[in-house]
Structure 1
Amino acid sequence: MMGKDVEEVSASLVREYLSRKGLKKTIACMDEELPRTNSSVNNRSDLRRILHLEGLYKQNKVEEHSLKSMLEIIVKDRMSEGDKTKVGNHDDKQAYPLEQTMSISSLDMSVKRDQSCMESLLCDSPRSSESSMSQLPSQTPENTRKKSFAVHPESEKSVYRLPSSHDLPTVSKEGFLSEKKILDNDNQKNRSSRIRRGIMAGPIASSLHESNRRRPARKVPSSVTATSEDFRESANWTNGLNTTNTKSNPSSSLEGESRMFSNLNKGTIDHNRHERMSEVKHRLKNSAPSPKLDGLHVLEMVLDDIENEESLCGVSRTSMPELSLDKTPMDQMTATALKEIIFGSPMACFTEEWKQQNFTFSDTPGLKYGIVQKKGGPCGVLAAVQACVLQKLLFGESSSGSLDQRLEVSNVLRTKCLSRALADMLWRAGNMKRAVVAINTGRSLFIPIGRYKSDGILEMITYVTVDTLDDLTLVLEKHVRQFESGPFGCILLTISAILSRTIATIQSDMDVPTSTLIGAHGYCTQELVNLLLCGRAVSNVFDDEMKLDSGNGNFTLLKGIKTRCNIGLLSLFEHYNICKVGSHLKTPTFPIWVVCSESHFSVLFCSSEDLATDHCIEEEFDLYYYDGLANQQEPIRLTIYPHCPAEAAQSDSDADSDLIPPLELCIRTKWRNAVVSWNDTDPIL
């Protein structure tokens, strides 16, 4: 259990460093290969407390040039400890002329090498970085070990030996040597030997067990000799791991090391040991380079770019406050329940039409507000989202200017409206109390067994639960690219809405608990559309509830729309007397309607909010129509004459019904005697 805790804390320390440096792709790669768990440390103050960094953190805050990350604070403390011991040793070098000087020099080099190892770890793949950090010795102030080389008794002038873990000379803050007893175990030997030799700078296995199994630690000889040139070359490789094709000047630390070792007798080198050092350096130079991140599909990964003080899981670097997220990885039980409510069977899978659909906007001039539907199937979800996006664009706080100006939106504005529209939909589904956002991690989180068919989607989802609308908006603004540009955007919204409402509540919403949200041929059912528009997965579109007498004093309760909705609905089925759309949907808060016509959903909207409040409008008005599947090339503007003379209405109704566009029939379910002008646009039949 302790090993797992060390791994989680180490991973959090690395993530905190990467987020402070703005390394988005590296964080994305790390989250893909090693997703966060419930044991992850998601708060900076908790991380400081676990690592006992409160004192160092306070000192750092008051400095003129304070460091941003805890890893840098730790490294700076280690380096400053080395400087203090060098000063103390200089004052007392008469009492300890040779042994202490070499110990202090070795300590300084060891500290710098530890720093180099950490920097190299952060340049390698995130998974390797986290695993490597988990194997480093504890670096808290209370547990910091000062490393040094001891002088070999037989050759004090030029030969060093590595001390045993039983009797490790250390240097106190005052600059005097002291003895510290250390427990000897195999893991500690492996870690200390790797750090001294620089092996931890390269990619290593994901766990200590795998590391020992794949690459056994070589035994460190009782004495290892090297010249200043050897150490300088090794340090140059460690510090310059990712400086290929760039000029680098010798650092001051390397010059210091050169001066420290310049007085060694170079003629007393043990050639066998020198060969071993060369072999180690050769292995280091030929170790695998860090992976290229250019080819990563980072759109469906979770990105962290945090500048806030306390949170490791915030959602913006500049404008978003700290946010602690409750993340839950998908398990097979939840995935099975989701498939039951969506398809009716855990053996069913999403079709390719659903998998490929997201909320990508059109680039056609005049239609940049429109979401493009690639193929038939998820049109109900797309139309509901399109209507909510139009609500934000036309009647949001920032909306101003003419209709053309409001609809000719920038990429940034339409993405912002999308994230806020999704937030409203999920918040309604969660009964204004909670919401859940499904996120694609890019890797499978469980291995399906038994009667469950994998489709490579539900298995990769982690869902985040939030308790306020502000937090929900922040999460969606951070992950909106997964919905807008990711491969499963439409599915992620559907899963988010179901989990926000909860599966049990959705079943209680339906007239028949065994109903599904996706019907035959991959089409959205009315329950799914109502869930997104009204927040409840009811099966009907009439107002309130209806009781049907079943005889013998029994009755069947049919559930409808309880309150007035922001977005309305018009249905061709009402024209054929199959259903009755109630006023809660027919007269919404905003003049925007989802249109259900011939098993397809599209959108009608008006730029004047007065149309929603004036129930007896007399003058003509314009409605705009958008169908994401129709490959529109220009806006479609319809002029509605709500109260035409009876003769005109009668002549129009006497026309061949096959020649009347279904859209006009839907419009007349609200404005009964309306005449529709298509304004030089070919009617859609």
Structure 2
Amino acid sequence: MRKDVEEVAAALVREYLSRKGLKKTIACMDEELPRTNLSINNRSDLRRILHLESLYKKNKSEEHPLKSMLEIMVKEQMKKGGDAKRCHLVDNRTLSAEENVPASASTTTDASYVWKDGDLAGQYGDSLSLSESSSAVSQLTASPAKESPSPKSSKSVSLCERGIFLPSSSQDSFLASSKAGLGYEKKNSDVDGQGSRTSRMRRGIMAGPITTSSQENSRRRPVRRTPGSLCLDKPEDDSDRVSWMSQSSSLDAGLTEADGTRPFERASSLSVSSHRQSMDSSEFDGLQRVKLHKNKSACSPRVDGLHMAGLVLDDIEDDEDLCGLSTVPVSNSLPQHNLNKRPMDQQTATALKEIIFGSPMMCFSEEWKRQSFTFSHVPALRYGIVQKKGGPCGVLAAVQATVLQKLLFERTISDSSSERLRVSDAVRTKCLTEAVAEILWRAGDRKKATVAINSGRSLFTPVGHYRSEGVLETITCVDVESLDGLKLLVEQNVQQFESGPFGCILFIICAILSRTIPMVRRDMDVPTSTLIGAHGYCTQELVNLLLCGRAVSNVFDDEMKLDSGNGNFTLLKGIKERCNIGLLSLFEHYNICKVGSYLKTPRFPLWVVCSESHFSVLFSLYEDLASSPWSPREFDLYYYDGLANQQEPIRLTVYPGSAVKPSGSEDVDTDLIPPLELCIRTRWADAGVSWNESEPIL
């Protein structure tokens, strides 16, 4: 029961945060209070559980509707709270046997009981009409008569205070039997004892010694409400508490039991004296309470006529009151059974630092800490990710190329290729989400992935041989076992990658943990290699991890065995399959390495360019360029460098082969050829390149 209440309350808070657009707050809440299979993530389900349908429709029809259900509840509560005292009955007259009230007067008194938000028939339908049913029961707004200062009136018993209304002809006889059964005794003139005794009788607590008011308050059982109960304003003194308790009992008296009888009909058939003496306070309380989930066939109160106080979910001891809550279908936004959240621990953080830097005493530089995947504000370059300082260029280039893959070749739009580069904020963020998810899913061998989320607080206290820096210590790891779940999880936390602190660091942690640290070491030719080398630059292992999902040390195809003599050989690991994104390297021009066809001819015409220890991106707008290693005619390539402070696109025209070259290119000194052209010629041999009036990048 308590768990159900907590889930409903948590869902109400999450709905409020979602309506207010507080995504970071929701993320923090999900970290500290993770969702479960019982979590309610559907607004319609939450409205149904809290009985807010009518209030929701009423709010929606207003000129300035409130956004969240929590605000609607607060507004209604504030509206009702100002008129709380008016919830009592207008007429405070009582039925006293000593005053010999005639039947006609009783009828008049009964008729004076009115509702604040509508009559009884309006609340419960024709079956409980005041004018037609002589056995109608007061539903919560009944107020006791003011006690007369005379001893005689203090001994009177009001049927109205018990929430019991009988036909006029039956009231006198019932009152007489009640008096006889309860065995009223003469009270002394002690006002305290008199008030306490009267209060105890009215609440049905007869056994035990008379206690003081303070003792009675401390021992009094709290009133247990059903989710559909009306407003009960908790009294501040004993006299008001009598009214409060009697109103609570009168509410239940108006409902129908499962066997078709009314609670007051069952109570009147018993001897009041023997019944009250034989039952304890909890049994008497249980007699007066009627559980709404057992009376679905009976008339239910309209939601728009209820006070919002009745919708407050207290810690109710009876599990049956909200037993239907757990059966509400849960449409979780994420496949909860495939999620596994765990905070970062020092052992994992140490292993990460060792594989990234080579030592747990090393830390990320300020260039890495400040770098996220933030897009350019230049109108013609809104697709480009901006690099603040040198260092993370290899990571940024790999993500940039994958963003262009999503933007140019995987979006089903009819715009021309050039128009696709003019993107809105929402579109480029969507492409970033899909790019991050694809890279991580590939690193996890397309079976699982791990997303690292910044929790904003330290999750462990480092000890021993470990240098703290406030990054790894704050990470929460979330494992996902489906691509759709991964995309949704990244989408919910994309701001951490796009604009939050440590966005680039979080991403490489995601990639390493998705591949797993042992597998990353196994991919490398030398297990002691690192992913970040000297001066904070990305190594080829890290770039390969992002491009092909394996942290291999080489860029040639497949594997290569080197004979070490004496029957021993060294295995060098390369690229296993054709990649979506390719790679061109200046080192190949200098015969330092050999780039294989899996990277030279990728599935999409997108290449990460490694030139002068810096990574950038070269791409074409036409997908068919990647279908063949040769191109019979000239074509255009676009170049983007996030660190170059570009203000406009750089378009290069490539002339394959040596037969056709741009004018004047024959006499150019080879020492002055831009490195980018040399990289292009590793893919298209002897190609001529025109910069189309752009300044060549040397």
Residues in 1 aligned to 2:628 and 2:236: alpha-carbon distance in whole angstroms: 91
Partner of 1:43: 37
SS in 1 for 2:577: coil
Report SS of the residue matched to 2:388. Answer: coil
In the alignment, does 2:443 pair up with 1:429?
yes
Q: Secondary structure at the match of 1:531?
A: helix
What does residue 412 of structure 1 align with?
A: 426
Report the CA distance between 1:20 and its aligned residue: 2.7
- Alpha-carbon deviation of 1:58? 8.0
Alpha carbons of 1:481 and 1:102: their partners in 2 closer, same or farther (altered >3 Å)?
A: farther
Closer/same/farther in 2, CA of residues 563 and 555 from structure 1, 3 Å limit: same
Q: 2:529 aligns with which of 484, 505, 515?
A: 515
Aligned 8 A contact 1:511 1:559 in 2: yes
Matches within 5 A, 1:319-468: 325-468=339-482
Cα distance in 1 between the residues matched to 2:659 and 2:237:
110
What is the CA-CA distance between 1:440 and the residue it aligns to?
A: 1.0
Give the counterpart of 1:17 among 12, 19, 38: 12
Q: 1:543 to 1:411 in 2, by over 3 A?
A: same
Tell me the percent identity. Answer: 55
- How far apart in 2 are the matches of 1:536 and 1:401? 35
Is 1:683 aligned to residue 693 of structure 2? no
Partner Cα separation in structure 2 for residue 484 and residue 360 of structure 1: 5
Q: Cα deviation per residue 1:294-342 (whole Å; 9 max; x = unaligned)?
A: xxxxxxxxxxxxxx96256x37xxxxx9887422111111111111111
> Which amino acid in structure 2 is aligned with residue 642 of structure 1?
P
Work out the CA distance in 1 between the residues paired with 2:41 and 2:488.
23
- Aligned-partner SS, 2:31: coil
Contact 2:40 2:331 in 1 (8 A): no
Partners of 1:26 and 1:138 in 2: CA distance? 37
Q: CA deviation at 1:506?
A: 0.6
Name the TM-score, length of structure 2 as normaliser: 0.63
Asked whether the 8 Å contact 1:14–1:71 carries over to 2, the reply is no
Give the AA of the match of 2:37.
N
Task: Say whether the 8 Å CA contact 2:203–2:242 is kept in structure 1.
Answer: no
Question: Which entry has the higher C-alpha Rg, 1 or 2?
Answer: 2
8 Å CA contact 1:355–1:488 kept in 2: the answer is yes
Distance 1:598 1:59, change over 3 A: closer
Q: Secondary structure at the match of 1:427?
A: helix
Change (3 A) 1:475 1:30: closer
**Equivalent runs, 1:238-317 vs 2, <5 Å:** 310=330, 314=333
Counterpart Cα distance in 1 of 2:604 and 2:307 = 68
Asked if the contact 1:150/1:169 (under 8 Å) is kept, the reply is: no
TM-superposed CA distance for 1:451, in Å, is 1.3
Question: CA deviation digits over 1:532-577, x for unaligned, max 9?
Answer: 1101110000000000001100000000001000000000000000
Residues 1:659 and 2:672 are matched in the alignment: yes
| Correspondences of 1:446-595 after superposition (within 5 Å) | 446-595=460-609
**8 Å contact from structure 1 (residues 103, 148) kept in 2:** no
In structure 2, what is the equivalent of residue 199 of structure 1? none
- Partner residue of 2:321? none
Q: C-alpha offsets along residues 512-541 of structure 1, whole Å, 9 cap, x if unaligned?
A: 111111111111110110011101110000
Partner of 2:610: 596
CA separation of 1:542/1:466 partners in 2, compared to 1, >3 Å: closer, same or farther?
A: same
Task: Work out whether residues 103 and 150 of structure 1, in 8 Å CA contact, stay in contact via their aligned partners in 2.
Answer: no
Change (3 A) 1:440 1:170: same
**Whole-Å Cα distance in 1 between the matches of residues 648 and 71 of structure 2?**
55
Q: Render the CA deviation track for 1:584-630: whole Å, top value 9, x for unaligned.
A: 00010001000000100000000111110122211000010000000
For residue 562 of structure 2, what is the amino acid of its counterpart? L
SS of equivalent to 2:423? coil
Distance in 2, Cα, partners of 1:170 & 1:252:
14
Cα distance, 1:401 vs structure 2: 2.2
Cα distance, 1:466 vs structure 2: 1.0
* CA distance, structure 1, for counterparts of residue 685 and residue 41 of structure 2: 65
Post-superposition offset of 1:35:
3.3
Q: 1:361 Cα shift?
A: 0.7
**Inter-partner Cα distance in structure 2 for 1:592 and 1:16:** 44
Which of the numbers 164, 168, 193 marks the counterpart of 1:91? 164
Equivalent residue for 1:628? 642
One-letter amino acid of the structure 2 residue matched with residue 36 of structure 1: E
Structure-2 separation of matches of 1:653 and 1:541: 32
Structure 1, unaligned runs of 5 or more: 49-53, 105-136, 183-250, 255-307, 316-320
Alpha-carbon distance, 1:33 to partner: 7.5
Mapped to 2, the partners of 1:358 and 1:426 lie a distance apart of 17
Instruction: Write out per-residue CA displacement over residues 476-502 of structure 1, whole angstroms, 9 at most, x where no aligned residue.
Output: 111111111111111111011111111
- Long gaps (5+) in structure 2: 58-67, 78-86, 88-122, 125-136, 143-159, 167-174, 183-197, 205-221, 254-263, 268-275, 284-304, 309-327
Q: Tell me: CA distance 1:158–1:369, structure 2 relative to 1, closer, same or farther (3 Å).
A: closer
| Pairwise CA RMSD | 4.5
Number of equivalences: 500
The CA distance in 2 between the partners of 1:252 and 1:491, in whole Å, is: 52
